[in-house]
Amino acid sequence: MQEKTREQEEALGIIWHFRERKIKDFDRIIGKLKEISPGICDCLVEKGFIEIKDKTIELTPSGEKIAYNITRRHRLAERLLHDVLEINKEEIDQSACEFEHILSDEVTDSICTLLGHPKFCPHNSPIPAGECCTKAKEELESIVVSLDKLKSGDTARIAYISILEHQRLHKLLSLGIIPGKILHLHQTEPAFVIKVDETQIALDKDFAKNIYLRRST
């Protein structure tokens, strides 16, 4: 394994994030990387983490692996800070940026398991899966679970909703189905009937899978 510094990890994470958003504007990417340090690109090329050809940056397999892991750790840390420690969304990025460099693979997978192998960070960016996710069984001890894993009669607090379609998300939010609220699950067949405050609505199972809750202790 090639030695890597914190700055290099940061830069590879940034390249990953641009690629994910399909942004190919070379000058914009380079500009962002130079904010970390002016010589970072040469350094990444020298280490064999990236290749630059015709004004495009490609991650090499070793660079790809580091970028994947740093992104995974960053976004899981965000979920942890946001859902469990209830730190607000505007403040989590900086702390997550500290965590991403220090979490070991074991700790990262434990956090992932604890949170129920989340697929998206609080900003709705995808969390790269770890070994724990691919071989995840039903983790009964998870603190955060999706609605379809609860039983009729259960009560839990809404942690987050991972719906990417804004229309559906706004519909839920406008009904008062929002993070922090206590949700009562009345029935699961033929549809999930939930009650939050005075609002009672029925959701189909596919929809229910996108609502994540913190088990009340």
Residues near Zn ion (CB under 5 A) are 10, 78, 97, 100, 112, 117, 121, 123, 125, 130, 132-133
SS (H, E, C) 27-62: HHHHHHHHHHCCCHHHHHHHCCCEEEECCEEEECHH
Nearer residue to Zn ion within complex by CB, 37 or 125: 125
Rounded to whole angstroms, the Cα distance separating 60 from 52 reads 10
Nearer residue to Zn ion within complex by CB, 136 or 175: 136
Torsion of CA 168, 174, 180, 181, to 10 degrees: -110
Closest approach of Zn ion to the CB of residue 202, in Å:
30
Closest approach of Zn ion to the CB of residue 136, in Å:
6
- β strands within 74-204, DSSP E: 144-146, 155-161, 182-187, 192-196, 199-203
Rounded to whole angstroms, the Cα distance separating 165 from 171 reads 10
- β strands within the chain, DSSP E: 50-53, 56-59, 144-146, 155-161, 182-187, 192-196, 199-203, 211-215
Distance of CA 93 to the CA centre of its chain: 12
Rounded to whole angstroms, the Cα distance separating 209 from 191 reads 12
Name the residue with tokens 């008062």.
Answer: 176
Closest approach of Zn ion to the CB of residue 186, in Å:
30
Task: Identify whether 38 is preceded by a cis peptide bond (ω within 30 of 0).
Answer: no
Nearer residue to Zn ion within complex by CB, 139 or 201: 139
Nearer residue to Zn ion within complex by CB, 62 or 125: 125
Closest approach of Zn ion to the CB of residue 152, in Å:
27
Closest approach of Zn ion to the CB of residue 191, in Å:
29
Closest approach of Zn ion to the CB of residue 66, in Å:
12
Nearer residue to Zn ion within complex by CB, 139 or 148: 139
Nearer residue to Zn ion within complex by CB, 78 or 83: 78
